[in-house]
Structure 1
């Protein structure tokens, strides 16, 4: 055999061996399940100088099997804003979740609310997970609430959370890029 054929045969043998070893490891006991592709969880109140009580809660997840489809995300998020006897709440069913590093954007369609103009609307929220003092933004700031928001779209996280009220946690999306 010439040298080129021997190198090719060796490369194929190494690939087969590595594949078999990887399969055995994955099938073996104690093998860890793959981590979810992305997540946004937690609850916190927004900081306000006035006496507004504004709370956001997230339980949004993108399964490992759906790593290439952020619109396959599942879960819910909830927000409320009260000041005296004025205010309301909304619960949305997640329809998209994108995360990058410590920043997340989640959208969902409002399924439950005491604010009739929000029922059935898609809203978007962004979070910057900074540890104890996170930041948050929402799609309805500075715009007509009747406009429809596309999936995975929100504003920059311009609000600060109130110290000591909770903590958001962002699991970064590991985008499956093809090998170079």
Structure 2
């Protein structure tokens, strides 16, 4: 298949996209001790031990928060379609804390797959992230395609946008108004279309880590 087969969205004749494809349960135990009254002996020692453990845990949490990455976009999901099309996007994009002031220092990978039906024919591409911006639960990223089954788009830059809504995510891509990636290498970094696509429920989830930009300060 020489090109991606994009189905236009009627309102503005935009194209569709492509993509590939724990809940943690907390357990709490109650000791049954009345902690509103001071204890003695081993009970007091137990309380002291718990307090020390809690202090160490809080310190580790504060340490992690101080050194957490500046921004991130991760996860994989399929796009909503009324046809048999199977469209999947996957992201593993990160901006290190030391590069907080330079989103173009972001690293990571992306991939997308667009098939006419599950296991059918279509196009795919994967590449490296070269820019990442996030604000709240919205992310905008770009990357360069390094591998694909469509030679015309190899080496080009493409853009993505994601709105992380906890299972009801939305996604956009730079070729939304043109019907397919056009092989351009001139797309501005971190530039994409609004997240107009819906994610199909139950097929995955995107996660966005908010960026805290360095605002200028008065001298």
Aligned equivalent of 1:32, options 55, 63, 67: 63
Deviations 1:83-130 (A, max 9, x none): 144311111100000000110011000001111111000000000001
Aligned to 1:55: 88
Aligned to 2:198: 160
Q: TM-score, normalised by structure 2?
A: 0.66
Aligned to 2:138: 103
Runs (4+) of structure 1 exceeding 2 A deviation are none
Aligned equivalent of 2:77, options 44, 47, 61: 44
1:149 equivalenced with 2:184 (yes/no): no
Return the offset for 1:176: 1.3
How large is the Cα RMSD of the aligned pairs?
1.5
Return the offset for 1:133: 1.1
Of Structure 1 and Structure 2, which has the larger fraction of its residues in strand? 1
Stretches of structure 1 that go unaligned for 5 or more consecutive residues are 1-28
Q: TM-score, normalised by structure 1?
A: 0.80
Distance 2:86 2:129 in 1: 23
Secondary structure at the aligned position of 1:32 is classed as helix
The alignment of Structure 1 onto Structure 2 pairs a total of residues equal to 152
Return the offset for 1:169: 0.3
